[in-house]
Homo-oligomer: A and B are copies of this chain.
Amino acid sequence: MTASRDTAVLRVAAELRSEILSGRIALGSPLREEPLAARFGVSRHTVRTALANLAGTGLVRTAPFVGARVPPFDEAEAAALQDLRRALESEAADLLHRRYGGAPWPQAVLAPIDAALGRLRAAERDGDEAETLQAHSAVHRALVAAAGSPRITRAHEQLSDELSLLLLHARPRYGAGELERQHRALLADVQRLGAPPVREHLDDTLERLGIPRQA
């Protein structure tokens, strides 16, 4: 899974991303260039541009002359993240709802979402927490991708990484099979009603993180 991609900086960036999203790198800990360069067997320049990449996706934050670290989240930032998420997901839902006029969506559109739901079911069944997190994230990504608006999809994918990082450390608790049930219901509701169910769903998520939505 430590796939070798095209260029060295993509490899390093992918590896760092995986380490951050798996929690192997703690929140707030600085990422020093020289040790990373030594560890990956690349030059500092390469590490440096890999870190700049990650900074673009929000997985690390950098400041001049102080370097990169994976950002800790406070409640305000979690709420801000969720605002952006609501913007993207509700617009996607609205696009889909308008496109199909409240009727059930074609099988071709539903298939990827169903696949993601299946993955979520399996992850919850196995009690694999990390995989559940990833699968949950994949369900939302699939829903947004179904809208077929590439820029919304891209923005959401970026956001998704940051969100995974947040959820990885906030660790909201769900009952067995609850996530899959909840999202199957969401999918049905969105087909009939469009964006509003998505908003409710996201507000619920935020509440479970202990952050009451403000006016």
Which residues of A come within 8 Å of B, CB atoms?
6-7, 10, 45, 48-49, 52-53, 56, 64, 77, 80-81, 83-84, 86-88, 90-92, 95, 98-99, 149-152, 155, 215
Can you sample 21 A-B contacts with CB below 8 Å? A6-B64, A49-B49, A52-B53, A53-B56, A56-B56, A77-B150, A80-B149, A80-B150, A80-B151, A83-B91, A83-B95, A83-B149, A83-B151, A83-B152, A84-B151, A87-B88, A87-B90, A87-B91, A87-B92, A87-B152, A155-B155
Contacts of A152 in B (CB 8 A): 80, 83-84, 87
Contacts of A52 in B (CB 8 A): 49, 52-53
Could you tell me the dominant secondary structure of chain A's interface residues?
helix
* Count of this chain's copies in the oligomeric assembly: 2
Distance between A205 CB and nearest chain B CB, rounded to angstroms: 16
Chain B residue at minimum C-beta to C-beta distance from A76: B150
Contacts of A53 in B (CB 8 A): 52, 56
Contacts of A149 in B (CB 8 A): 80, 83-84
Distance between A55 CB and nearest chain B CB, rounded to angstroms: 8
Contacts of A91 in B (CB 8 A): 83, 86-87, 90-91
Contacts of A81 in B (CB 8 A): 151
Q: Are B151 and A99 in contact (CB under 8 A)?
A: no
Contacts of A99 in B (CB 8 A): 215
Distance between A75 CB and nearest chain B CB, rounded to angstroms: 13
7 A-B pairs closest in CB distance: A87-B91, A56-B56, A84-B151, A83-B149, A80-B151, A80-B150, A87-B87
